[in-house]
Structure 1
């Protein structure tokens, strides 16, 4: 999952993440009784000894100062309070029994005070909503109920252990704001428009035309999977576009050749974020470079070595990003694993059972599955006698791809100018605008082709358009609940708590692997790789510099620094890749019309094998002097050995 909102961009330091602006009716927000010009906004909950923030607002008062005191009178913070300002007081820690907090303001015009008394819990409470929701979904396979329970549990804590009030918070504090978020709304609209385009394409015979056109080439399950793999690599510029286009386009082909929906979802998911992460030109590059730049700046300010500080301050973030690519072991090995699985036609774990079922006539999805798209009853089949023309599918899809690419370029160029480099231009673009433009253009082209060729009337084309949207209803519900659970983890400060308990005094050689594990856990529990990167990179870069891992950076060295940066990126992707509440994981299930938890269960063993190889040979091996290229070879060898001795051949089928 990725979140481009300004909230997470400003949360580069995890100490600021728990600062939440809440309505006056919620716990944690207080207004001074004797000075209406002062009000205080605090977090939804306070975790014992985990840093949090307060936001102070005042309209008047000359020479104003504030003090924050615990219930026992201990001063937690103090400082100046500018007139007509919003002041954030960060880094506060409350021990057990410190609440309620009192905030006092004194000025030439008098004084005012306010009390802040949100619910207080031990830090481990913040882990319960995501862990319980994910565990229930894995065990019982009822993902909607499991996610809703996790969200309610978060509301239960925020409401001070009131179960009925927690039910209200489930809707008004988590679900509605998730839908109101502009980035989330853009993803839903893009998914709906792309699904609507697929509906028109299906009704006009374009989908079956693609199947017929690929029949001479994709004659075997291996070839169908290989075509899907190369299509995933080809759409390298955006993971959302990659997932939805590849899954929807190749699903009819893989269904025809009895490739399980679980395998298709794995292929789609494993060629989305891993490809986009390492591509020079993508919607991720600018975001990653901006975080690297911030981390280098913070490290330069904190180091006592003038030469190293100068080198860090003047280093090109893009050059550092390029240097980090060989150390992105998980994304690279994930792609290798996909290619090896396709080439060997061997599987292991639940995936082998899914493929055996599909090849032997048991169906491309498990009986009783809760399909993210009801591909069996959508009413999208082409009427009898409709010409099966492959280009009625290919042209709208190509329109989406080209429109997104041109949209990214022109939107980015409007920000940085036409003379900027291509990666700077793409990095400055708003990907949500581009994918919306592309999906809308694809819909219009698909309808235009169907109507002008007299294959469908305008009314029939619009019926297909609406049918495509209706087919995605379950996916939209799960996606919304996943975002809402992510908001729960944000308001409960799950990520700061995890980061705090996982950091400590470390040998610099261990920082990359511990960083990878930390990023994976945070990303898995929160369902967002972008927020995880935002939280950890400004922490990890100064940490590894302080531990001596950037020695020689000014002379072209500092491999541990580069490796640590890569560990954040790779670990975030691994956790996001495995998380049932990640939007890219949900979108992969949607595009493949697969049961979401079946996708998670079958993909997880492959991701774990890749992660272990990446940690062992990549992040540990290179920290102790192993060449990254040799580490990759050892990782590839591990993947091949596991497939050879653990994997079993998939039946050829009938």
Structure 2
């Protein structure tokens, strides 16, 4: 089979998703296409293989934990929202003048997304829950909220690296015999141009209030919908902040515990699942003691919140299955081989960034991209005399760039969920920002390549 055909399934998924706005059909067709190629163009075996591939998602404890987390967080969000806890927090912030303007309202989730760097999903959901009501109150679109939280949470995780991202990158770098692998990973911060520029772009947008592209018209029909929504009276702010604080602190504590005292070595999926269960316990007891819901209401609202998450979890489930299938098909390996063809030190950082971005875009996973691209980038860096931190930063930034552009990315899916907006609309409105920032990053990587060559 020609290797170029390995890019057909992800391309099919992206085209169908954009044209039909039906992500379920897009992902399902892509899985069948991938499995059919794996089965040597046998469509019957491809269909059967697709079923087995979907079932195999649950063979990974990490995948299962993430899916459970996304379901359970729905119950926690419903409790915080329907109890009046979110409204109480927003009301308190408004009374104190802390979110009295659209600029301040937009700044709140941006700061939350930046500060909660321990785990991307926790960051996205925490800042999204806070931002939804604030953005509605000031007439700001949910798509803009999704952009803000998506473009702070993942970039800051790829920069600070005191989290699972850092541990993963360190594990991939260590086999190459560097004197200080930790130094290589830590040294990526000034070279991670896409992440730095994306964060700067978010805060520039927040402080200036200016947007461009499809974001200008995003959410025009949202105002009517908001007016029709049933208002929830503010009750006690502790119904929101205590479970949320429990989840964040629990994620940190469990990361340290599962890592034997080292957060970097902790188990991310296990920690966030334990943390959300602990937060639900705290929230459930708090709401029961405060009689926030009528008899049986706590359970009913919890299941209703879980039901709200089912469509998004289905997309995430299909995305994971597609990613697994594409790894077997060899899509990422083919994309990585493209990078190997360019051996000039001047263009290698830029090429690595672009190929990592395209790979993440097509596979929908930045971490999967890292597993493919870091083993390519590190030997290239050593052979050509390129600073390993520069090459690693290009991979890390490229993975986030591809995720931000991809409609099949798990982080864009969860960002849409957290902001409460249509997933395809989030991708469509965020895409111009990602492309502009990615283009500038390519130029900066070319300049870095020239600088390294002359040094």
- Which residue does the alignment assign to 1:68? none
In structure 2, the CA distance between the partners of 1:531 and 1:160, relative to structure 1 (3 Å rule), is: same
Contact 1:228–1:268 (CA under 8 A) maintained in structure 2: yes
- Which residue does the alignment assign to 2:19? 139
Unmatched 5+ residue regions in structure 2? none
Contact 1:260–1:358 (CA under 8 A) maintained in structure 2: no
Unmatched 5+ residue regions in structure 1? 1-120, 298-311, 366-374, 419-424, 551-559, 627-654
TM-score, normalised to structure 1, is 0.66
Q: Deviations over 1:61-114 (max 9, x none)?
A: xxxxxxxxxxxxxxxxxxxxxxxxxxxxxxxxxxxxxxxxxxxxxxxxxxxxxx
Of 358, 373, 396 in structure 1, the residue corresponding to residue 243 of structure 2 is 396
Tell me how far 1:203 sits from its aligned partner.
Answer: 2.6
Q: Distance in 1 between matches of 2:91 and 2:377?
A: 52
Larger RCO (CA under 8 A, 6+ residues apart): 2
Root mean square deviation, CA, Å = 2.1
Q: Distance in 2 between matches of 1:264 and 1:482?
A: 23
Q: Distance in 1 between matches of 2:334 and 2:158?
A: 27
Tell me how far 1:211 sits from its aligned partner.
Answer: 2.3
Of 373, 394, 399 in structure 2, the residue corresponding to residue 536 of structure 1 is 373
Tell me how far 1:362 sits from its aligned partner.
Answer: 5.5
In structure 2, the CA distance between the partners of 1:387 and 1:587, relative to structure 1 (3 Å rule), is: closer
Q: Distance in 1 between matches of 2:36 and 2:375?
A: 32
Highest Rg: 1 or 2?
1
1:203-602, aligned counterparts within 5 Å? 203-215=82-94, 216-294=97-175, 296-297=176-177, 312=178, 315-354=179-218, 357=220, 361=223, 382=232, 388-413=235-260, 425-457=262-294, 459-547=296-384, 549-550=385-386, 560-602=387-429
Q: Deviations over 1:421-473 (max 9, x none)?
A: xxxx1111111121111101111111111111122245211111111101111
Structure with more of its chain in strand, by fraction: 1
Tell me how far 1:358 sits from its aligned partner.
Answer: 6.0
Tell me how far 1:137 sits from its aligned partner.
Answer: 0.7
Task: Report the secondary structure of 1:237's partner residue.
Answer: coil
Q: Deviations over 1:225-268 (max 9, x none)?
A: 10110011111111111111211232122122221111111111
Q: Distance in 2 between matches of 1:191 and 1:543?
A: 38
- Which residue does the alignment assign to 2:61? 182
Contact 1:258–1:363 (CA under 8 A) maintained in structure 2: no
In structure 2, the CA distance between the partners of 1:326 and 1:188, relative to structure 1 (3 Å rule), is: same
Tell me how far 1:387 sits from its aligned partner.
Answer: 5.7
Contact 1:259–1:364 (CA under 8 A) maintained in structure 2: no
- Which residue does the alignment assign to 1:83? none
1:64-213, aligned counterparts within 5 Å? 121-172=1-52, 174-213=53-92
Q: Distance in 2 between matches of 1:577 and 1:526?
A: 12
In structure 2, the CA distance between the partners of 1:458 and 1:282, relative to structure 1 (3 Å rule), is: farther
Q: Distance in 2 between matches of 1:624 and 1:243?
A: 37
Contact 2:363–2:408 (CA under 8 A) maintained in structure 1: yes
Q: Distance in 1 between matches of 2:432 and 2:271?
A: 34
Task: Report the secondary structure of 2:347's partner residue.
Answer: helix
In structure 2, the CA distance between the partners of 1:320 and 1:486, relative to structure 1 (3 Å rule), is: same
Contact 1:258–1:364 (CA under 8 A) maintained in structure 2: no
Q: Distance in 1 between matches of 2:376 and 2:429?
A: 34
Structure with more of its chain in helix, by fraction: 2
- Which residue does the alignment assign to 1:603? 430
Q: Distance in 2 between matches of 1:352 and 1:497?
A: 38
Q: Distance in 1 between matches of 2:186 and 2:80?
A: 40
Aligned residues: 451
Tell me how far 1:179 sits from its aligned partner.
Answer: 3.5
Q: Distance in 2 between matches of 1:210 and 1:574?
A: 33
TM-score, normalised to structure 2, is 0.94
Contact 2:154–2:400 (CA under 8 A) maintained in structure 1: yes
